[in-house]
Every structure is written in structure tokens, then in C-alpha cells.
Chains A and B, each alone.
Chain A
Amino acid sequence: MKNLLALPLATIVAGLATVGTAHAQSASEGIAKYREMLQDGNPAELFEMKGEELWKQKRGPKQATLDQCDLGLGPGVIQGAFVQLPRYFKDTGRVQDLESRLVTCMETLQGFNGAEIAKTPFGRGEMANVTALATFVATASKGMRFNLPQQHPQEKAMYEVGKRAFFTRGGTHDFSCASCHGADDKRIRLQELPNLTKNPGDGIGFAAWPAYRVSNSQMWGMQQRLNDCFRQQRFPEPKFGSDVTIALGVYMGVNAKNAESIVPAIKR
């Protein structure tokens, strides 16, 4: 890996300085260019490698690997699984996203306490391992296109629930997901906002997580991305793997049909 972490601030400042007083459009181009430069040595690779190790390692009370984990395409099949999640799983009777499914595998195959993991803060203990595993699994579908199944009644129901959750206004500011992500070509400050009510394009929105965040040097999965969206919406905190988070995943994932996953992405 290159010495890229020393680079960002200087690069972004230079990028912005070249814009001078020119309008914001050029500034966002500068940021896009900066992201492109970082893509060369994305620190997400470290999390992917950690995830691969965790997948193959005998762990937990049952001292088992995750080799038999079924992510929807059969036990142990990793490639292509991510771009079809969230989906319905017969054994749990639920629609699950990648992260909640991984917790189920850690519970059933390795004997971990799934409820304990779900309560662990992001970035800590086994929750950090879930994020690394998710990065590993998702990266195996890099370049593939989203195609979530919608045959099962529960998959259809979760899409409808997700759509409703997406437009629900609440909190002190009356914000919904749609306040920021319901129209094309909008920004908060200089940050461009994907329109998540449709396919926002390859590698944008749902197709860009898990991602490495340069601003805080953290690897985030979709569960954490949603958690922080709701924090900024001034909502109470969504529980890890809760119905609303999974339903929103189905809604965004189905809307993103045919979008190419660029995971692991890199974000500001």
C-alpha cells in the first residue's frame, strides 16, 4: 500500500485552491478527482484481507469456519451473493441483508451469541469483524450488477415497507430519507446526493457500500451508513439488523437494479 494517508489534506486543499472563486461545481469535480487518486490504494483492502482471514479461520465456541455459510447462493458461495442481497432465507424465515446474514452464520456455525453482536457498537469486537467479513464478501462481487430477487412475498413486502420508511418524516427537523435522496442533482453543502428512489448509476448510493471513509479512517457497511443517516435525520437510533434497515436495503437495492457494485468504495 502506498503512502496515501499522508496525501489527502494536501491534495484536497490543492484541488479546491485551483477552483478559486469559481462556482461549487468545479469544487466537486476536484473532490471527485481526489477520490479517483485514492482509489489506487484504497485502505478498504486491509479490511477485505482481514475479512478473508476471519472467514477461513476456525472461530467461536464451536471452533468452525464460515465455509458453510449460505449467503443465498448455497453454502460457501461468495461470488455474486452480495448483489442479490437483501433476500429471503428459508432457515430464518426472514429477509436478511449481508451483515445480518453474517451474524446468523456466526451464530449457527460458530456458536457466537448473535444478539450480543447486534448490540455491540460499530467498530468494536465482533461487530468490527462483521464489517470486515462484509467487506470481503461484497468485494467478491465487485463489477457485478445488482439484481435482488423479488419473487418471495416477504421480499415484496419488505420493498413496500422500505418505500414507506424512506418517505416517513420525523424527528425535530421533519426529515425523511427522501429529504436528501428524493431528487436528482441535489447537494448538501458541496456533497452530491444520490437519488435513491431510482437507479442512481453505477457505483453510486447502494452500490457504493461497504466503503472506507477517509474523514474518519473507518470502514463502514450499509448498516452503519444507515445508522449515521438516521442520526443526522435526528431520528432515534435504528437497531442493527432491524426491519426498517433491511427494508430500506431492499428498497434501495431493488431500485438500483443493474447498477454496478464498485465495492469496496472510498468516501470522503
Chain B
Amino acid sequence: MRQTFAFILPVVAAVALAACSASPSAVDYDKAAADALKNSFQARGIATLDRLEQDQANAACAAADISGQPVEEKLAKAIEAANMKTVKWPADGKFLGDWKQGEVIAQSGRGLTWTDDAKTVNGGNCYNCHQISKEEISFGTLGPSLYNYGKLRGVSNPNSPEAKAIVEYTWGKLWNARAYNACSQMPRVGHKGILNETQLKHVMALLLDPASPVNK
């Protein structure tokens, strides 16, 4: 007999049937959801199935969102420490590139979907979530406004010793935002290879160079 469409995919809700005497527990549903995630996706182009694998940070933050209980402080600190270890500092010690190229990167939302290929130059997706320069009125609000980012933090010379702490923090935040906030919604731009070191330097300049429109 030919398998019918409805039965080709494994049935998640077997969990509900297995537990007909007692109500299924949250653990049963967790298992059913994990199984469903495993059977519901297929690799397409560069978007391969390993993208569904959960690291400690993603697993813990999703569990917190589902239960409505924030990640316990000790675990949050552990996640931040583990992510801090991934931060790679600029090889030549220079943190800032060209803000004009940074603006182009901030505008672009390209890259890493299954309709992109490995040669696509990735964008930073920055304006999708943040206000950045005042000139661009089409900005998202998922993240905080970054207008006047450097100015508000008193950065008048990014190469000065006074600016060192904020410059390094900004690099670390861009490289791996979860190093500072365990469940930050911001992509781990450096750590996940979304932008390379050179591109990150340009974005750094957009945020911190006093000549950048961001700080006007």
C-alpha cells in the first residue's frame, strides 16, 4: 500500500497518546518538540541541518522564554564567560576602519539564507533593528538606538587611553553579544562568521569615529 501524505512525516503527538492516563508533562512536550524540529527541516543550499544544533546559550535562553522564568544567575554568568572566551581581538591591534564602508555594511541585510550562496558578501543587518545615522529614517526598533553611540560615551579620540574600555567593549559586543548578556537577541556577528575582522572594523568606525555621521 502506498504511504499516504499524512503519514509520511512522523507523528509528534504520539507523546499525547502514550500518556493517556496522566497528562503529559513539560518534559514530554520538550521531547516532542525536539523530535518535531529534527523531522521538519531539510537542508537547502548553504542552510544545512547543523544550523538547528543547540549550544548551551541557545538551549538555556529558549528554555527560559518557554517557561517564562529567566535564566538562573549562575548559568547566565557561565554562558557569558564561555562566550567571552570566543572573542578574537584584532590581530594588528587596530579597532577602527572606514566608517563609510561601515555604513554600507550596516545597510546590507544580505547573506547566509538558503537563497544566498557561499560567495555572497554578508551584510550586518544593523539597520533592520537599530537606528544608527540620523539620515536613514528606515530603521528597525528591535534593538536600541545607536545614534550618537560614540559621542554619548564620551569618545572624542578612539585611540586615546580614555576610550580604550569602550572601544574594547564595543568590539566584544559586536563579536559576541552573549559575552555581556547571556540571552541577548543580537546575532554573534564575529563569533558566527557573519562579518569578518575587516568588516567589523568598518562597523566599529561607523559607531565610534568622531567623523562618522553617527556622532554628528
A positions within 8 Å CB-CB of B: 21, 23-24, 27, 92-96, 100, 103-104, 107-108, 113-115, 117-118, 153-154, 156-158, 160-161, 163-165, 167-176, 178-180, 182, 185-191, 193, 230-232, 234-239, 241-245, 247
Contact = CB atoms under 8 A, between A and B. Distances in A.
B165 interface: no
Given A172-B112, A173-B194, A189 B62 contact: no
Contacts of A95: 13
A1 B8 CA distance: 41
A235 B41 contact: yes
Interface residues of B, number: 65
Contact of B13 (A94, A167, A231): A94
Interface stretch (B94-102, B137-145, B147-155): B137-145
A169 B62 contact: yes
Closest A-B pairs by Cβ, 4 of them: A114-B5, A242-B40, A164-B33, A153-B16
B80 to A, nearest CB: 15
Given A24-B137, A161-B32, A188 B51 contact: no
For A160, A175, A247, which residue has the most chain B Cβ atoms within 10 angstroms? A160
Contacts of B86: none
A175 B177 CA distance: 13
A91 B185 CA distance: 42
A17 to B, nearest CB: 12
A169 B177 CA distance: 15
For A21, A117, A173, which residue has the most chain B Cβ atoms within 10 angstroms? A173
B51 A234 contact: yes
A161 B31 CA distance: 9
Given A153-B24, A174-B187, A236-B114, A243 B39 contact: yes
A165 B12 CA distance: 13
A169 B12 contact: no
